[in-house]
A = this chain, B = another copy of it.
């Protein structure tokens, strides 16, 4: 994939996340730079629904813009670099505030897969509370110290919740993190509905492992084509 194609896919990912209600005017998605693995690509500070290719900036791992050209970066870009730094397997990161996910972050209710499509969110999702180490802040992860602690809370998992704020989703490809972001939201919705009906049977650890070991890119691809159509973006197969 060329850099231009990568940027184009990143724009599409922003539009998809907006269309599917995972992000509103806030939240962001990045990819590791295809040629410079110590850098990442991320839009300037703009609502995901409005982002164009020219908005995409290049950042070094500590969040410095390589060539800002007058563009204002997201104040929370540090999240992305901190995750790429400690997770060489990660090629893409989403930070979002899905309204289905936040209730779990402020209640401590367990969020865990109830459906096979949602297995990629992991069996147990931790919640990071910025107040524990940093006290009363505006909750934004606006420096590397906070971002590193958040990345540590994520650990080797695909998802970490942020109390009163949102979550981070990290994975091996842009399509995977978009997929897991959307199905994280769905799993949260399903759990809230099921919770009102009675005790929930979650997927077993063995089932989660079986889904992950048998899932290939064709699953992400099928969803991606459909989400592109809904978001009004051209679809380019990446089989």
* Residues of A near any B CB (own CB < 8 A): 18, 24-26, 45-47, 49-50, 72, 97, 99-100, 102-104, 106-109, 113-117, 119, 131, 135-140, 163-166, 186, 189-190, 192-207, 209-211, 213-215, 218, 222-223, 225-227, 229-230
Expressed in whole angstroms, the Cα–Cα distance for A203 and B140 within the complex equals 13
Contacts of A108 in B (CB 8 A): 198, 201
- Report the copy number of this chain in the oligomer: 4
Q: List 7 A-B contacts (CB under 8 A).
A: A99-B189, A102-B194, A106-B201, A138-B210, A139-B203, A163-B201, A192-B197
> A71 to nearest B CB, angstroms?
13
Expressed in whole angstroms, the Cα–Cα distance for A152 and B199 within the complex equals 26
- CB within 8 Å for A210 and B137 given contacts A50-B225, A97-B117, A198-B107: yes
**CB <8 Å contact, A194 and B135:** no
**CB <8 Å contact, B97 and A164:** no
The chain B residue sitting closest to A127, CB to CB, is: B201
Contacts of A226 in B (CB 8 A): 18, 24-25, 47, 49-50
Contacts of A99 in B (CB 8 A): 186, 189-190, 193
Contacts of A107 in B (CB 8 A): 194, 197-201
> A212 to nearest B CB, angstroms?
8
Contacts of A47 in B (CB 8 A): 222-223, 225-226
Expressed in whole angstroms, the Cα–Cα distance for A113 and B165 within the complex equals 11
Q: Which of A18, A192, A194, A209 counts the most B-chain CB atoms under 10 A from its CB?
A: A194
